Amino acid sequence: MHVVVTGALVENGSVLLVHRRPTKRAYPDVWDLPGGLVEAGESELQALAREMHEELGVHIVTESAARVGVVHDGTGADALHAGVWHIGDWAGTPTNRAPEEHDDMAWFAISELAGLPLAHGVLAAMVHALPEFECDRRQSDVTDGDQDDRGTRSACRACAGTGSSETRQA
C-alpha cells in the first residue's frame, strides 16, 4: 500500500493543482493536489510540510492544516491511501520545484474542476467541502479520519484492522 498526503492551497477562491507528467507510472496526465509519499517514521502532517516545501517551495503553517478526508484507490500492493489536507496558511509563493513530476501547475476556480481530468473523481467534491467554498460536504468516496493528525497514526476507518493505517515507505 502506498500512503501519501496531498494539500489544498486555496487563494482568492481558487485551488492550486499540479499536472502530473504523462510519463508518470501512477496517475499520468491528470491534475491533482500537490503531495507525495509519507516516509517511514513521519506523521501525515510532517510529510505534508516536507512535500509542500519540496514540490512548491512553500512553508506551511502546520497549525493551520486540517485533514479533510482520505481517498482510497486500488487493491493489494498497488493500493493507495491518500490523506487530503486543507492548508489554511503558508509562507512563500508556490512554484513548480518538481518539474520531473509535474509539467504544469495552475490555480482553478471551483467551477472549473468539473471540466478537468482529475486524479480522483472525489477530488472535486473534497475541494467543494473546503470552508472557503461554503458548500455542503459530500461523503461519497471519502472516509473521514482523524481530523487533527498531530503526530499520530491515521485513524482511517477503512484501514482499521488491516494494518494498513501504519505509515510505511512505498
pLDDT, tens only, 64-83: 999 999 998 888 888 889 99
- The amino acid at residue 144 is D
Q: What are phi and psi of 91, to 5 degrees?
A: -115, 135
Percentage of the chain modeled with pLDDT above 90: 58
Which residue is it, cell 491518500? 82
Q: Which residues contact 77 (CB under 8 A, 6 or more apart)?
A: 1
Beta 14-20 vs 102-109: how paired, if at all? antiparallel
Three cell numbers written together for 44 = 501525515
Taking a C-beta distance cutoff of 8 angstroms, is the pair 43, 152 a contact? yes
Between 126 and 34, residue with greater pLDDT: 34
Q: Which residues contact 140 (CB under 8 A, 6 or more apart)?
A: 122, 125
For residue 134, what pLDDT band results from cuts at 50, 70 and 90? low
Q: Give the C-alpha separation, 102 to 138, whole Å.
A: 28
Q: Which residues of 66-87 are buried (b: 16+ CB within 10 A; e: fewer)?
A: ebbbbbbbeeeeebbbbbbbbb
Structure confidence by residue, pLDDT tens digits, 41-72: 999 999 999 999 999 999 999 999 999 999 98
